[in-house]
Structure formats: structure tokens, C-alpha cells
Chain A
Amino acid sequence: MSVGALQAMSLVLRRELCLSFRRPDQLLQPLVFFLIVTTLFPLGLSPQLSLLRQMAPGVLWVAALLASLLSMDGLFKGDAEDGTLEQLALSGQSLAAIVIAKTIAHWFVSGAALVIMSPLVAVALGIPVTAFPTMLLSLSLGTLTLSWLGAIGAGLTVGLRRGSVLLSLIVLPLAMPLLIFGANATDRAIAGDSPEGAVYFLAALCVFTSSLAPLAATAALRITLE
């Protein structure tokens, strides 16, 4: 029985989501980390709302970057260790399609979960409600882009024993433009300016990485798997 590429993608996607919902602690840990990191800033800097509001976009974005990096390490690792990844690579399906499905599943459980959590953190940091739509949109685009970048890094470091620090070293420089435009969009929305320019940039980065990163991540996996 032959399985089409789309069907294979949806099967992998369903399997990934099912696996992550069966291990809720792994799902929750990055989210709790996100909460704790954002709590550190008001404690360490100043609980003054006027000051916090200035720092809030940066704090939110840095915490989101670090939190999604935490889970990035596991994107291919579990499947590589028990041999599933090799089976998937040998299945005759395009490896790129499998990488795309796995990355999107990863974004659902890490990036999208962070986006849903972000209003809670935003209120605590004094971000006005009027800035929420921009913040949610920019965070969604940003975390998806980050998942694509992370897929490249995870593909390159999957065979390594201490790959997680290296993964951050590889992905964070590539993610810096994301931080600049993401924080800038949120910042402008808080100030009441039009955030469109920065949001368009984020959308462009998202499209760019969505189209090229799967190829790079697939090539990375082929290097580390063989």
C-alpha cells in the first residue's frame, strides 16, 4: 500500500502530537520556564510598572526564545535514539515532508503554547491590552520562524551527546534578527505607533525560513544520520 506525501505528513503530525500529549510534563516544562524567566526580571530590575513596560517586549521575546530553545533539543533526538528516525528516512517518503510535519508539530506544542500563555505574562509586565493583537501575531510568526531555525540546529546536533549547548550557540545568532523585529513590533504597539513595518519583516522572515529551512534541516539530518 502506498502512502502519499500529504498523508504521510498528517500521520507523522498526528503521531508527534499524540506522543507529546502523553508526556504532559515535557510539554509544560518550557512553559513554566517561560513564566519563571519573565518573573525574574521584575524581581531583578524594578517592580515599577512604567519601567517594566519599557522592558516588557524585550523580556517577553528573550524568554520566548530561550523557552522554545529548551524543547528544540528533543525535536529529533528521541526518534534518532530509538531508530524511528532512520526508519522514517528509509520509508520511501520524502524526508523533507517528514521534517516539515515534525517541525509543525513541535511548533504546536512549544511555540503556539507560548503564544497562548503570553497574555498572562504580558499583563504581569504591564503591557496594555491594546498591544495584545500585535504581540500575539508577532510572537506567532516569530516562534514559527524559530522552530524552522531550530530544526536546522537540531538536525545538525542530533547525533551529539552534548548537543544542547551547541544547539543554542548555532540557533541564537540566526535568531537575532527575529528578536530585533519582534520586540520592535511589540514596542511600537505599546507606544501606540503603527507596528506594520516590523510585522511585515517578521512575516517575510517566516516565509523565507518556511521555504528554505526544511531543505537545510533535511540536508543536516542526512549528514548526521548516515
Chain B
Amino acid sequence: MWTWFYRLASPPYVYRVASAFTPWLLLTAGIAIAYGLIDGLAFAPPDYQQGDAFRIVYVHAPAAWLSLFAYTTMAVSGAIGLIWRIKMAHALSAAAAPIGASFTILALVTGSLWGRPMWGTYWAWDPRLTSELILLFLYFGVMSLRAAFEDPARGDRAAALLAIVGVVNVPIIHFSVQWWNSLHQGATVAKFGKPAMDASMLWPLLAMLLGFMLFFGAVLCMRLQGEVLNRERQASWVREAIKA
């Protein structure tokens, strides 16, 4: 029953799985994002308060959500690597970090573009914004710590530990709008009961969310292939894989 899990520790197997998944993930991500963008930007009704400016939510919310999801992925796979000493888990963790940092930057940039017409300012020192900025700094810390070690195995494990320590920030970001009186609007989708959004606006958002998840999976698989090839560059299977 656990053989599939054990096989994930083998670099050639991981490389093959990642290569096989990449095109399918890219294709489905493209479909979901195309539907979400067209429906969200062209067909969803304008917000009664925010007008057409609310449409940036279709990029902003999925990006912000993915910034947390990528961090959790990085920390969990880092923890798996630390506990069971699986090298491929560290490779996955290393592959996820720059993607997560990019999503964080995207969330911060789209958020400030949204903030200008709605709040009258690009940036406010609000709990949600500040904790998201700290998340970006944590990504930078994890990435530079990994790069600072000459011995890659040691860098992997140090970065994994730092990623685990930084996990305390994830619930803070998620709940900051509830815990503090924030300028940022509260949860509209991810809450119990009926979402505070009409279905005509919600469907494109969910499609974008799914699309961003699939896109994250696709880029993760592509980066993972690069990581595996780079880490295993001495192995004979890599030479064969590149030739083929």
C-alpha cells in the first residue's frame, strides 16, 4: 500500500512523474484561468459599491491564497525531508519557494493597485498587509539560507527548519482580518455557511482559484524537474534522460 510513497523518494521516478504531469496541469490550468478571466472580467456584474474595480479580486485573492498554500507546501515537504530524510522532499521544498515568493509579490502588487481606488492609498500598515509582507521576507530568508550553505544537504535541512519556524505566520495572515480591526475586507468566500458573494461573481473566482492551483502544480513540476536534474547531475540516468 505504501509502495507509491517509497517510490517518491527515487529521483528518476520523481523526474518521470513530474514530466508526465506537467503538460496536463498546464492544459487544465489554462482552461480554468481562461474561463475565470473571461467570465470574471466580462460577464460578472459590477460590484454595487466598488464598481468594476472589484474585478482585480480575480487575480488578487487567488494569488494571496496561493502565497500561503505554497508556503505550507514548502514547510510540509521540508518537514517530511527532515523527519524521514527524503532528499526529494527537500527538492520539492526548494522548487516551491521561489513560486511562493512570486505569488506573494503578485498579491502585494495587485492589492496595492486595488487599494489605490478603494482606500485612497497604495499601501497601509494594516495587519493583513504587514503579515503578508513578513511572509515575503520569510520566503527570502528561506531561499538565501538554502543558498548560503556549500553543502547542499545541510542547506536543505537548515532551510526546512526555518520554513517550519515561519509557519507561525500562516495562521496570523489568515485570521488577521478577524483578530484585528482591519482596513482589509473580511473573509467573503472561505467561511462557513453561505459565501457573501453572488454566484455570478463567485464561479469565476473559484475557477481562477482552481486555475492558480493547477498553475502552481504545473510550475512546481517544471521546477522540480530542474531541481532533480541539477541535484542528480552526477547520476547516469540523468545523462540518459537528457539525451532522450
Contact = CB atoms under 8 A, between A and B. Distances in A.
A173 B134 contact: yes
Contacts of B162: 152, 156, 170
B137 A172 contact: yes
Interface string B141-156: 1001100110000100
Nearest to B159: A156
Contacts of A152: 162, 165
B97 interface: no
Contact of B157 (A160, A169, A174, A223): A223
B179 to A, nearest CB: 11
Interface in A136-166: 152, 156-157, 159-160, 162-163, 166
Given A152-B165, A174-B165, A169 B144 contact: yes
B158 A220 contact: yes
Contacts of B134: 173, 176
A14 B96 CA distance: 44
A50 interface: no
B154 A223 contact: yes
Contacts of A159: 149, 154
A172 to B, nearest CB: 7
B154 A157 contact: no
A220 B82 CA distance: 11
A156 B78 CA distance: 15
A224 B149 CA distance: 9
Which interface class (under 10, 10 to 19, 20 to 34, 35 or more) fits A? 20 to 34
B166 A224 contact: no
Interface in B38-60: none
Contacts of B158: 156, 220, 223-224
A174 B144 CA distance: 15
Interface in A96-120: none
Given A159-B154, A176-B134, A166 B148 contact: yes
A157 B159 CA distance: 10
B154 A170 contact: no
Interface string A205-226: 0000000000010011001100
A170 B157 CA distance: 15
A166 B145 CA distance: 7
Interface string A68-105: 00000000000000000000000000000000000000
B161 interface: yes
B71 to A, nearest CB: 13
Contacts of B144: 166, 169
Contacts of A180: 130
B107 to A, nearest CB: 17
A173 B157 contact: no
B138 interface: yes
B140 interface: yes
Given A160-B148, A220-B158, A223-B161, A169 B166 contact: no
Given A159-B149, A170-B145, A174-B138, 11 more contacts: A152-B162, A156-B158, A159-B154, A160-B148, A162-B148, A166-B144, A166-B145, A170-B141, A173-B138, A173-B141, A220-B158
Interface of B: 130, 134, 137-138, 140-141, 144-145, 148-149, 154, 157-158, 161-162, 164-166, 172
8 contacts: A160-B148, A163-B148, A166-B141, A173-B138, A176-B130, A223-B161, A224-B154, A224-B158
Interface of A: 152, 156-157, 159-160, 162-163, 166, 169-170, 172-174, 176-177, 180, 216, 219-220, 223-224
